[in-house]
Amino acid sequence: MHKKNDYHPMTDAELEGLLAEIGQVPQRNPDNAARAKARYLIAAGRCLQAITTEQTTKTRRKKEFKEMQPFLKRFSLAFTLAAVLLVFLLGGVGVTAAAASSALPGDPLYGVKTGWERTRLQLTRQDFKKVELNLAYAQNRLDEIEALITAERLDDLEAPVQAYETCILEALAGLEGIRSNSLAADSQLGRAIRASLGKYTADLETLSNRVQTQRRERLEEATLFSKSAGAYHGKIEFVGTVNAIDPNLWIVSGLEVIITASTEVEMGIDLGQQVEVKGWVDALGSIYARKIEHEADGRAFNLNGKGEFLGIVNEIQPDYWIVNGIRFEVSATAKIEPGIGVGDFVEVEFVRNNKDEYILREAEFALDDNEYYGTVDEIHTEYWVIDGLRFELLPKSKIEKGIKVGDFVEVEFVRNASGENYLLEVEFADSEIYGVVDEIHTDYWIVNGIRFELLPNSKIENGIKVSDFVEVEFVRNQAGEYILLEVEHKDAYNSSDAGYGYNRHGGDDDEMVGFVDEIHSDYWIINGIRFNLLPKSEIERGIKVGDFVEVEFFKNCAGEYFLLEVEHEDD
Amino acid sequence: MDVQNQAPHIFDEETLIALYDDHSDSIYRYAFRSLGEANLAEDCVADVFIRFLERVATGKALTGNIRAYLYRVAHNWVVDHYRREKPEADLEAQPLPAHNANPENRLFEKENQARLRQALLALPEDQRLVIELRVMEKWPYEAVADVLGKSVEASRALQYRALKKLRQSFSPQWM
């Protein structure tokens, strides 16, 4: 068997074999292809309309426009009809969608309205936009709930309440998907979701107060759901034994699991059975189940060998802990995260010795670390207050030097079962970053995957376009949004001084030797690698294609190489 | 309708539709090969053609070969995607394990494929295009030369250099 570092130079046959492998493309999904074409047709229709509008403003083209207009209108209409037809076929809606926008559940056009929303979701490929759409649709459902209450159509409330919860769950699921790709986007979207849910919770509470019948209970459930989801802390999955079953609360391996209206529970689960619980934990440590199902894979706590599991701390003694009723011996080498107390939800790693004892190897909070941005209100020896929240200090808390009251900081912390925050790290929040422009919109930009909101007084250097490398100066508001103050082109070479991901070697440049393949005014190719030239690139005179040279270079976070110095390699 | 070598007249309905029909599949294949994921490739196709329309809407002239232009936009999309992804592992800096069809080495082969995609992306644009069109799409040299705006002989030379560079990029000396 080959080992990972058992390599040899590539032969022609191997290269062609590999190229053939990656050259194979599975058949394109016809539905996806149709959706892509629908988007193209819609955009083409807009494009033509834009051209039509522009032309009407240009008097010097009046004559030409006059001749074109009937054709343009016909063509634009043809495109629009084709697009609508495709969208209709895909999503089951048509041009009546706009007319249906004010329809309520039970109205004839309500299906058209929600169908149009579903179609927009289907046509939207970017995950963060799907999250934003789901939040917008959640607001639509709340508007409908309000309209139904005003119209005293309380029997129709269930559908929009359920749909509201589905939108929130899908937004949270979308957030999970994004989390794996971009922590920055996750953090930003997470705050957006929390901000939205805070508003939704308040709206639902107001609406609940307007309803005096048994329907109020359903609205209160939705309010509870919004509160828990609003305080969304982290995804959780664990396997345990069912100790108690109540319509609103289960006990699984000693843990209280809250059941909401949207919890999916597999039929036939009984006391004493092994189940898998999937859900989330709110800021107070309460577990909300999204799904509970039979556990048939034997992934429950394994009494043999070694393993790890999630559980709640029942007791802490100097030489042993009890977690989920199981005793774990604590040795001197056990790694235990600071701040854990009785009642906390923890992840335990253990081994079983030959005396059948369980030896605790590691224990840590089962939840992800929290991240928080705010202004320092108070600094004490045992705790800090940041934006009104108290954070307890630990012996291992890392505190960046120089932070004082009034500074804007980034805090990493964990929260225990009692709701106390333990500060892991606090540092000055970055107020400027360097990155590549991903998207440019009228009201926001996306740089390095982070969305920056524009203000009327945001300063934007002329000529910046997508893919440019820029420096962004920003602040973050209370809702966690990034507000763009200034953006300007950044010289690639100087940016490495900033140490922000532009030099992956932490400031040390790389060197290599090789043959010069190509020489261009703005880049060289050496041994097949493209090196972009910089204003400060030092190039020894007389180097030509085919020469053997030594290159000093660095590589930026986008994987591009920049040439610092090139000279003949005498050795 | 073959519109690969003509800049479309923006008011020509048939040309715009035919352009999409002619090129969307090949752009999809290019995107799939570069990205290795069907949904992402669809995203790329949609964005490439929408950017094309946006360019048409601005009234900027589209000079040169439309197919080459579309490939270039697709390539930029792919590069942008990898920038956004910011993979932690620097695949280019890793040695190439020996190719072996043994199932035990499938993981390494997958890794090789990913690295080869990265290496292709690192090639100069015309070299990447010649590999894509000639080696993967199996176009005749004449058609490749037409897209590249070069002679057939120059296209052959370009392919030779591209393959040579790909081999070099997998050489152990780059450890």
- Judged against a pLDDT cut of 70, whether residue B35 lies above it is answered with yes
Note the pLDDT of residue A46: 63
Contact yes or no for A245/A271 (Cβ under 8 A): yes
Structure tokens at A53: 């509008």
The pLDDT of A96-125, averaged and rounded, is: 66
The whole-number pLDDT of residue A418 equals 56
pLDDT at A202: 79
Name which of A19, A126, A527 is nearest B135 (Cβ-Cβ): A19
Distances (CA, A) of B76 to A43, B47, B67, B79, B81: 20, 11, 14, 5, 8
Determine the length of chain A: 571
Higher pLDDT, A269 or A3: A269
pLDDT at A324 over 50: yes
Considering only CB atoms, which chain A residues are within 8 Å of B97? 2-7
- Is 80 exceeded by the pLDDT of residue A105? yes
Give pLDDT, residue A49.
57
Which amino acid does the sequence have at A143? Answer: D
**Residue recorded with tokens 């493309």:** A25
Rg value, chain B, Cα: 18
DSSP assignment of A106-131 equals TSTTHHHHHHHHHHHHHH---HHHHH
CB-count exposure of residue A283 (10 Å: 0-12, 13-18, 19+): middle
Average pLDDT over residues A353-362: 80
Write the pLDDT tens digit of every residue in A374-394. 778 889 988 898 877 788 887
**Residue-level pLDDT at A320:** 92
Domains of chain B plus CATH, in order, are 1-86 (1.10.1740.10), 91-175 (1.10.10.10)
**Four-CA torsion A482, A488, A493, A496, nearest 10 degrees:** -20
Helix axes A183-210, A127-150, angle to 10 degrees: 0
- Higher local confidence (pLDDT), A350 or A356: A350
The two three-digit tokens of residue A95, written as one number:
């041009």
Q: What is the pLDDT of residue A40?
A: 76
Other beta carbons within 10 angstroms of residue A166's beta carbon come to 15
Q: Which of A555, A552, A550, A546 is nearest to A564 (CA)?
A: A552
Under a CB-based contact definition with an 8 Å cutoff, are residues B169 and B122 in contact? yes
Q: Is the dihedral of CA A171, A173, A178, A183 positive or negative?
A: positive
The band of A263, judged by pLDDT with boundaries at 50, 70 and 90, is confident
Q: Which residues pair with A515 in a beta bridge?
A: A548
Residue B58: its pLDDT value, please? 62
Query: Does B164 have pLDDT greater than 70?
Result: yes
Residue-level pLDDT at A461: 87
Minimal Cβ distance to A68: which of B11, B104, B171: B11
As a whole number, the mean pLDDT across chain A is 71
Does residue B47 surpass a pLDDT of 80? yes
pLDDT of residue A369: 57
Least confident of A463-467, A506-510, A518-522, B122-126: A506-510
Work out the angle between the directed axes of helices B66-85 and B13-35 (0-180°, nearest 10): 40
Share of chain A above pLDDT 90, in %: 1
Residue that wins the pLDDT comparison between A22 and B95: A22
| A406-439 per-position pLDDT tens digit | 777 778 877 665 567 778 888 877 667 666 787 8
Supply the DSSP string of A160-180, one letter for each residue: HHHHHHHHHHHHHHHHHHHHT
Window 48-67 of A: residues touching B by CB (8 A cutoff) are 50-51, 54
Q: How far is CA A464 from CA A42, A259, A438, A460, in A?
A: 28, 51, 11, 8
> What sign results for the dihedral spanned by CA atoms A401, A405, A411, A416?
positive
Q: For residue A192, what are the CA distances in angstroms to A368, A473, B15, B50?
A: 19, 21, 43, 28
Q: Which is more confident, A298 or A243? A: A243
In one-letter notation, the amino acid at residue B33 is R
Q: Looking at per-residue confidence, does A528 or B94 come out higher?
A: A528
Q: At B91, list the tokens.
A: 């695949």
Pairing relationship of beta strands A538-539 and A561-568 according to DSSP bridges:
parallel
* Average pLDDT of the segment spanning A51-58: 47
**What residues of chain B lie within 8 A of the CB of A22, using their CB?**
33, 36, 113, 116-117, 136
CA distance B98 to chain A (A): 5
Residue A475: is its pLDDT beyond 80?
no
Between chains, do A438 and B84 touch, taking CB under 8 Å as contact? yes
Interaxial angle between packed helices B13-35 and B38-58, expressed in degrees from 0 to 180 and rounded to the nearest 10: 140
Helix (H) or strand (E) holding A139: helix A127-150
In this prediction, residues B159-164 reach a mean pLDDT of 83
Flag the least confident range among A53-67, A217-231, A280-294, A339-353: A53-67
Task: Identify the H or E element spanning A473.
Answer: strand A469-476
What does the pLDDT look like over A188-235, one tens digit per residue? 566 667 667 777 877 888 888 888 777 787 787 777 777 666 444 455
The 10s digit of each residue's pLDDT in B113-141 is 777 877 887 888 778 888 888 888 788 88
Mean pLDDT of A5-18: 63
Q: State residue A185's pLDDT score.
A: 47
Residues of B in Cβ contact (< 8 Å) with A68: 11
